Structures are given as C-alpha cells and as structure tokens.
Amino acid sequence: MKRLLILSLMVFAISLVNGQKSENLALTPPMGWNSWNTFGCDINEELIKGIADAMVERGLRDAGYEYLVLDDGWMAMERDENGRLYGDTIKFPNGMKALGDYIHSKGLKFGIYNCAGFKTCAGYPGSRGYEYIDAQTYADWGVDFLKYDWCNTEKLNAEGAYLTMRDALYATGRPIVFSICEWGDSNPWKWGKEIGHLWRVSGDIINCWNCEVGHGSWSSWGIWKIINMRTDIRKYAGPGHWNDLDMMEVGNDLTDAENRSHFAMWSILASPLIMGNDIRSATPKTIETLSNEGVVAVNQDSLGIQGFRFSDEYGIETWIKPLINGDWAIVFVNMNDKEVKLYFDWLKHDIGDDVSQKFAKLKYNTYQIQDLFNNKDLGDTSTPLNARIGQHDVLMIRLNKQ
Ligand code: GLA
C-alpha cells in the first residue's frame, strides 16, 4: 500500500514536471494592447492605468481587446533577496499585484514580459535559471499572459528553453497564455504548437508601409516586409496556436488608408491583434478602424484558418480566408501610389483553398457581398464587382453564403 502511494506520488510529481501548455486558451487569435511600439521602456503605473481606462472608455474592450501587456522595462534592475523579480518601485510604486488587480477590475487581463536569456533585450533581469520562481511570481500577481523574448540566450536551444518556461507556467496551475517571441529564427511554427499559444514570425515591426530599417546586426521591418517574409507557414496556425505578425502599428503615423490595410491584413492572416499605439490620444478614425466589428469577426472566426494571397495583378493584392458556415473574407489592397479601379468577375475566379479543402464554387453558389469598412451591401456574386480603391487603401468584403 505504502509502495503504491509512493509510486503514485512519483507519477504525480513527474506529471507536474513534464507539463503541457494551458489548454483551451487563445482558441481565436489573442487581442489586446502592448506598451512597446509607442513607449519602449518608458512605462509606469499612471500610464498603464490610463491605457486600461481608455480600453474601456473608447469601446476597445467591448470590441474584443482583452490583454493589456507590459513589455520590457517594468522590472527593478535586480532580483530581491529571495531571487524574485519585482516591479521598478519608482515606475510602479504600488507593485505589480496592485496593478494587475486594477487591470482585472476593468474586465481586462494582465500580460507581462520577460526573456529566456540572462537579461531582457533592454538589460533587465532575464528568466534563465529562474524560470520556476518567475512563473510562480507571475501567477501570484494574477498574470494571464506572458510574452517571452529571446535576447541574451547564447547557446540555448530555443525549443528547450521555451519548453522549460511552459512547464514552469503549467506547474503554477494558473492558465497563462504563452507568447513565444523568438523572431522566427528557429522555425517556432514547427515546434510551437505544443509549447505556446502564439509565436512571432519575424524581427520587430516598424511603422512604415514596406521599408527595412537596419540597426547593424538586425533590422526592423515594415508591414509588407513582414507579410511577405513567410509565405508558406499558414498551415501551422489554428485554434490555440497562431503565427504572430507582431504588435500592430495602426495609429502610429500611417495614413488612414494604410491603417485600414494593415488592420485588414493582420485580420485576414489570423494574426493576434495586439494594438501598439497610444489609445488614449488615438484619433476617432483610428479607434473606428481598430474596433470594426466585421473585420474583427474575420480575425476571430472560429475555424481559425489563416488567409493567403490569392492573386497579385496590376498592383492589387487579393487575399482570401475561408470562414465558418461557408462564408469567405476577401481583402483587395491597392499597392499603387494612385487610386485604381477594381473589376472582379466572380465567375472567372475559383475562390478556394487546397489546404483547408474549402471551395466557394461561385458558378453554383451566389453569395451576398458586404463591404466591411464602409458597412455597405455591395450586391451579390452574380455580377462582377466594380470599385475604386485609393492609394494603399483596401476593400475588405465578406461573402455571405445565401
Ligand atoms: C525584442 C522584441 C520586441 C520587444 C523588445 C523589448 O526586440 O522582439 O517586441 O519586446 O525586445 O526589449
């Protein structure tokens, strides 16, 4: 009997060590806000509370944005005498638990950042060698989302390092979304599904349409550079495990047209929708774009199929995504520097997806067409679609099966 007890205790202990990722989280791409794109390490309690307030007051929480994530720069420069992390006491005078409580009191979820290396990218204490202590600290603070970066990880194996942190999070017993931020260096889409809920596919985004900005050994990437960087990984995305195209630059000095196109693309590509702008001062147009119900619904579609480029003709990129109940989302982006006319004859195109085996069969099925950004009915697919699209602007439609 005693032996049996010891054996079952051992099995229990092993099952704790060999964890799994938290189940049933991020069944649709996570939505939220992250501090990095606009504020870098310059974050503090007042700012974060103001962002939480704005998420509620400006309707973003109700549009689906849930996670409020503090990126690099929240910690004190060293650990306490027990090896535990704590928040910078000047930036966060009431501590991280109190901040998490405030975020939760607004009906939002609390996200935090650290790194698999011995230091974060900005030089704060990293989690290497402290994974279980840090995971427990986050759980004690009520953290719901961990973004885990990849700086200062010399000689670490990425899959192994992320697995260790996954197991540490699992051992706390608190459901925590695990965001792998390894920049796509060792193909995280091939091993990430069992480990995390989302994984970055590129280096850092920058707020331009299609530029690359070099910083010596690394570059920042414009919106279309990231979109075009990985064209063959959509099959790895699905409910609970997403290709992450990085925090959005919507509202960060792009034109309104570019904001719409950027948002439409992140949506059709089933990327997490993590805002990266100052939503307290964002223009009404930017808030309107970010909270467009129809566009968000395409991103949050329960099938979780990542869209793909259907064609690229005359500088109009056409992207499509199969949706629940036989519906389709289509994005037409005008890459030209001038307005163009779009003519799209439904009967001459085979809208379909070999990967998910979904086919619209437009010769036999008629779909009603809904213009998502303008909230307009555009007739149906029995007649060709005619439209004008401005420079870098987008026409995003939903084909509703009759
Ligand atoms: C890396 C990540 C960014 C951000 C910074 C913080 O560059 O890719 O998203 O988290 O670190 O230092």
Whether 278 and 358 map to the same domain: the answer is no
Q: Is 98 exposed, middle or buried (0-12, 13-18, 19+ CB in 10 A)?
A: middle
Whether 165 and 92 map to the same domain: the answer is yes
- CB-defined site of ligand 1, < 6 Å: 36, 71-72, 113, 120-122, 149, 181, 204
pTM over the 0.75 mark: yes
Q: Give the pLDDT confidence score for residue 389 in this predicted structure.
A: 98
Q: Give the pLDDT confidence score for residue 260 in this predicted structure.
A: 99
Classify residue 98: in a domain, yes or no. Answer: yes
**Average pLDDT in the 164-183 region?**
98
Q: Which atom of ligand 1 is nearest to the CA of 122?
A: 12
Whether 190 and 264 map to the same domain: the answer is yes
Whether 320 and 288 map to the same domain: the answer is no
**Average pLDDT in the 30-56 region?**
98
**Average pLDDT in the 334-362 region?**
97
Whether 139 and 278 map to the same domain: the answer is yes
- CATH code of residue 163: 3.20.20.70
Cα 389 to Cα 121, 212, 363, 376: the distances in Å are 41, 26, 26, 15
Whether 125 and 159 map to the same domain: the answer is yes
Q: Which long-range contacts (CB under 8 A, 24 or more apart) does 63-66 make?
A: 63/290, 63/291, 63/293, 63/296, 64/31, 64/273, 64/296, 64/300, 65/31, 65/32, 65/33, 65/273, 65/275, 65/290, 66/30, 66/31, 66/32, 66/108, 66/109
Q: Which atom of ligand 1 is nearest to the CA of 150?
A: 1
**Average pLDDT in the 232-239 region?**
97
How many A from CA of 189 to the centre of ligand 1?
Answer: 19
**Average pLDDT in the 182-186 region?**
97
Classify residue 206: in a domain, yes or no. Answer: yes
Domain end (from 299, 324, 357): 299
Reported as a pLDDT band with limits 50, 70 and 90, residue 8 is: low
How many A from CA of 304 to the centre of ligand 1?
Answer: 26
Amino acid at 153: T
Q: Give the pLDDT confidence score for residue 4 in this predicted structure.
A: 52
Using CA atoms, how far apart are residues 193 and 204, in angstroms rounded to an integer?
22
- CATH code of residue 370: 2.60.40.1180
Catalytic positions:
149, 204
Using CA atoms, how far apart are residues 318 and 250, in angstroms rounded to an integer?
20
Classify residue 1: in a domain, yes or no. Answer: no
Q: How long a stretch of residues is the chain?
A: 402
Q: Is the pLDDT of residue 17 over 60?
A: no
Q: Give the pLDDT confidence score for residue 12 in this predicted structure.
A: 47
**Average pLDDT in the 40-59 region?**
98
Whether 237 and 323 map to the same domain: the answer is no
- Decide if 238 contacts 322 (C-beta within 8 A): no
Q: Which atom of ligand 1 is nearest to the CA of 246?
A: 9
DSSP 391: T
Calculate helix-pair angle for 131-141, 158-172, nearest 10 degrees.
40
Whether 261 and 167 map to the same domain: the answer is yes
Q: Which long-range contacts (CB under 8 A, 24 or more apart) does 184-189 make?
A: 184/229, 184/230, 185/150, 185/158, 186/158, 186/159, 188/158, 188/162, 189/233, 189/236, 189/237, 189/243
Domain end (from 280, 299, 318): 299
Whether 73 and 208 map to the same domain: the answer is yes
Domain end (from 299, 329, 359): 299
Reported as a pLDDT band with limits 50, 70 and 90, residue 2 is: low
Q: Is the pLDDT of residue 6 over 60?
A: no
How many A from CA of 58 to the centre of ligand 1?
Answer: 27
Using CA atoms, how far apart are residues 207 and 254, in angstroms rounded to an integer?
7
**Average pLDDT in the 236-255 region?**
98
Q: Which atom of ligand 1 is nearest to the CA of 200?
A: 8
Whether 140 and 199 map to the same domain: the answer is yes
Residue whose pair of structure tokens reads 């027990």 in the numeric block = 82
Q: Tell me what percent of the residues of the chain surpass a pLDDT of 70.
A: 96
Domain range for 163: 11-299
Higher-scoring residue by pLDDT: 357, 17: 357
**Average pLDDT in the 354-369 region?**
97
Classify residue 3: in a domain, yes or no. Answer: no
**Average pLDDT in the 195-209 region?**
98
Classify residue 4: in a domain, yes or no. Answer: no
Q: Give the pLDDT confidence score for residue 14 in this predicted structure.
A: 46
Residue from 70, 114, 181 whose mutation best tests the ligand 1 pocket (most atoms within 8 A of CB): 181
Residue whose pair of structure tokens reads 């196109």 in the numeric block = 261
How many A from CA of 250 to the centre of ligand 1?
Answer: 18
- Closest-CA residue, ligand 1 atom 11, reads 121
Classify residue 2: in a domain, yes or no. Answer: no
- Decide if 316 contacts 335 (C-beta within 8 A): yes
Q: Give the pLDDT confidence score for residue 11 in this predicted structure.
A: 46
Classify residue 205: in a domain, yes or no. Answer: yes
Average pLDDT, the chain: 96
Whether 346 and 217 map to the same domain: the answer is no
Number of other CB atoms surrounding residue 189 within 10 Å: 21
Reported as a pLDDT band with limits 50, 70 and 90, residue 231 is: confident
- The total number of structural domains that make up the chain: 2
Whether 112 and 236 map to the same domain: the answer is yes
Classify residue 329: in a domain, yes or no. Answer: yes
